[in-house]
Structure 1
């Protein structure tokens, strides 16, 4: 991802927030057979306060990626969306795309069976927790044999990134009135392009730029 100093994200707390709010990621590896990519949910490692993430892949994706043997790129895609030139007012302009994205790179560590089970348990609890009647990993009708068979079909990993590239391109280079117009359009606006999550990220970025956040 090409970086622009004006759009760079470096604050660890903000990066953790973006990762936590956008857990469905893309895993990319460069193998002897070329590039491979997979898609899985990850979580921040709850024993750390840095950008370490934990997750799992289903077999044989571990072999396809050479998991634990080579560098893995994890692409975290935050809110993103189309920005119309009509929202800039009566000036020469072209369309663009606003977005938040975090790239984490490093060689992952493979988890033990016990660690992987703990991560699988956390993943289910995280996403099932808001359901009216949550079905957690170890609750009936699941039994221990079922859970252990499930775990054997997966490979858990922990990635502490050695390289981080993070970018939020959210019209920070535009005047305040233009930013407000874009936010309004994203909040309520044109058919097909309404995106309150992207509008919220724009507000956050521009408040931070002005020292109000």
Structure 2
């Protein structure tokens, strides 16, 4: 990812926190020379000094058959917003877009053992909707097992992590304040989130 020095995440811990906050990501894999992509929720797990990404495909998804053959790219991206040159001091300015993104690279291992697949699903339920766990546990084994046969679970060991936060760091404090005020005044939730990240630096 093209990342000028001014726009880099300073610490890996900040990138990991970002991934956990915006965990619905895009996984890209190359199959027979062509990139294919799927949008999935990911569990971001730090374990024994390793960074792991866990999720699952629908079994019918062709990407499930290609994911172990080569490294994949997982893109975590959000929020973003248009930045008008009206907020800058100089008339000779152009529009741009502020955004944050983290790219994670790694090769997947399939999770085939039924207990591990069940554990992955239950961990995701606990993260996203803990109240559903009681209903999930009340479903028949036949139904749950049938649902699990319809997915392909996997785990990716992250081998490279790249992050970019383009938050007008190359502008003056006055210009940044104007941009933040404009973003906060907009009705768009992503713009408001971006303004919050800008305030945090």
With structure 2 as the length reference, what TM-score do the two structures score? 0.89
Q: Deviations over 1:130-176 (max 9, x none)?
A: xxxx2226333x22222221111111111111122211111000111
Q: CA deviation at 1:5?
A: 1.6
Aligned match of 1:211: none
Q: Deviations over 1:9-58 (max 9, x none)?
A: 24122111111111111010111051111111001125455432111111
Q: Report the 3-state secondary structure (helix = DSSP H, G, I; strand = E; otherwise coil) of the residue aligned with 1:97.
A: strand
Of the structure 1 ranges 151-160 and 86-95, higher mean CA displacement relative to structure 2 is found in 86-95
Task: Check if 1:175 corresponds to 2:201.
Answer: no
Structure with greater proportional strand content: 2
The CA distance in 2 between the partners of 1:42 and 1:193, in whole Å, is 22
Q: Describe how 1:156-175 pairs up with structure 2 within 5 A.
A: 156-175=153-172
Of the structure 1 ranges 150-159 and 85-94, higher mean CA displacement relative to structure 2 is found in 85-94
The CA distance in 2 between the partners of 1:182 and 1:2, in whole Å, is 23
Aligned match of 1:150: 147
Aligned match of 2:197: 201
* Displacement over 6 Å in runs of 4+: none
The CA distance in 2 between the partners of 1:69 and 1:150, in whole Å, is 26
Q: Which structure 2 residue ranges, 5 or more long, are not aligned?
A: none
Aligned match of 2:120: 119
Of the structure 1 ranges 3-12 and 70-79, higher mean CA displacement relative to structure 2 is found in 3-12
Cα root mean square deviation, aligned: 2.1
Q: Which structure 1 residue ranges, 5 or more long, are not aligned?
A: 206-213
Tell me how many residue pairs correspond in the alignment. Answer: 199
Q: Report the 3-state secondary structure (helix = DSSP H, G, I; strand = E; otherwise coil) of the residue aligned with 2:3.
A: coil
Aligned match of 1:208: none
The CA distance in 2 between the partners of 1:56 and 1:49, in whole Å, is 23
Structure 1 54/7 Cα, relative in aligned 2: closer, same or farther at 3 Å?
A: same
Aligned match of 1:70: 70
Q: Does the 8 A contact of 2:180 with 2:198 survive in 1?
A: yes
With structure 1 as the length reference, what TM-score do the two structures score? 0.84
The CA distance in 1 between the partners of 2:96 and 2:194, in whole Å, is 14
Q: Deviations over 1:83-135 (max 9, x none)?
A: 11111245321111101101111111111322221111122222213xxxx22
